[in-house]
Amino acid sequence: MINSALEIQQLSWPYLEWDEQGRATLSNSRIPVTHLIQEKQTHGWSPEEIHLQYPHLSLAQIHSALSYYYTNFEQINQEILQNQQIIETQKKHLQNQGTGLASAEFLAKLQQK
């Protein structure tokens, strides 16, 4: 059983980097593994289709991210869930303030087009 982000990093995922919170990102990019996994889950994309959508990522990077996910799927799924909860909380906050996509000004602009 893997106990820490440091031990995880010692396994072989040469195309990944970890930020100060221990979250994996694809090397030489700012794309978190969680984002790539959400794209795969949402659209059902294969690694090759992900590469078509993100041509600056190599297939090796994509496969490394997928390998990391399948090794740590519970942790990654929990991180995705937490990110989604944060987004929902922020959306509700903006709606309560009448700003963002829920603002009267924005909705009026949409109706003009």
Tens-digit pLDDT profile for residues 10-65: 567 889 999 888 899 999 998 999 999 999 999 999 999 999 999 999 999 999 99
Where residue 110 falls among pLDDT bands split at 50, 70, 90? confident
Average pLDDT, integer, range 75-86:
94
Q: How far is CA 2 from CA 11, 33, 66, in A?
A: 10, 18, 17
Is the model's pLDDT at 6 over the cut of 60?
no
Which pTM was predicted?
A: 0.73
- For residue 47, what pLDDT is reported? 96
**Nearest-CA neighbor of 60 among 16, 19, 30?**
16
